[in-house]
Amino acid sequence: MTNFKYRLRRLDQTPFMTVGLIVIMVLVFLAMTLAGGSTSVNVLITFGAKLNPLIQQGEWWRLFTPMFLHIGFTHILMNMVTLYFVGMQIEAAFGHTRFLAMFLVAGVGGNIASFCFSNSLSAGASTAIFGLFGAFMMLGESFWQNPVIRQLARTFLAFVVMNIAFDLFTPGIDLAGHLGGLAAGFLVAYTVGVPRIGKVSPIKRVVATIVLIGGLVWLYLHGMAQ
């Protein structure tokens, strides 16, 4: 019985959701490479990249699938390294299920924002990764009195500011997707809560949930109407 409890504790401390997401994305990248190359527009469209006209024609799942696709080796390498180091910290703080929920909601949220504000074909886990940065911002706001969390929040806030500044001066970067993912991650972190660290105000959770759902619905409908 003691050995079983030890194994459960070890499993709970292992970032298996983060690792699992990385494995899935690497496998998808390999499949894209074998299908003709991850930089091929046709391959990207076939595998589910975000393309506004197709979403407007009813292929709504393209708001979900892009977070698992990457364009070129450098793109997936940078995203997977970032996902591993950020993901393992967020997964440890929020727990496996909450972490996965935040990752997926932030990814979809970022893609909906991109759908609304950008006509370019896009793909990548950056929308969801920015959502994890948003979760760090939520921790910093809710548990500012904790010196460790406060320092981490400051560090990631600086990192986010630098990344957004980089986005502004780099052609082809989906800034709308990054900002949408950041906002969605910040809000959904309140929605799911973080019982491993402490309680979050019920009012904040309700307001964040309403703003999150209302904002995503508005962006989606606005994108469909364009």
Extract the tokens encoding 104. Answer: 């997926």
**Range of 8's domain?**
2-225
Q: Is 114 a residue of the active site?
A: no
pLDDT at 8: 41
- pLDDT category, 10, cuts 50, 70, 90? low
Task: Report, as an integer, the average pLDDT of 153-173.
Answer: 80
pLDDT at 153 over 80: yes
Is the pLDDT at 60 greater than 60, yes or no? yes
**Which CATH number covers residue 104?**
1.20.1540.10
Sign of CA dihedral 190, 179, 60, 125: negative
Assess whether pLDDT exceeds 80 at residue 3. no
Please give the mean pLDDT across all residues of the chain. Answer: 91
Tell me what pLDDT residue 4 has. 41
pLDDT interval class at 158 (50, 70, 90): confident
Is 178 marked active-site?
yes
Burial 101-128, CB ≥16 within 10 A → b, else e: bbbbbbbbbbbbbbbbbbeebbbbbbbb
CB 138 within 8 A of CB 186: yes
> Which pLDDT score is estimated for 134?
95
Percent of the chain with pLDDT over 90: 79
Neighbours of 100 (CB within 10 A): 18
From the list 114, 122, 126, 142, the catalytic residue is: 126
How many domains in the chain?
A: 1
The active-site residue, picked from 75, 122, 142, 178, is 178
**Tens digits of residue pLDDT in 104-150:** 999 999 999 999 999 999 999 999 999 999 999 999 999 988 888 88
The band of 14, judged by pLDDT with boundaries at 50, 70 and 90, is confident
**Which pLDDT belongs to residue 20?**
97
The model carries a pTM of 0.91
Lowest-pLDDT choice from 132-146, 158-172, 182-196: 158-172
What does the block give as tokens for 99?
Answer: 């972490």
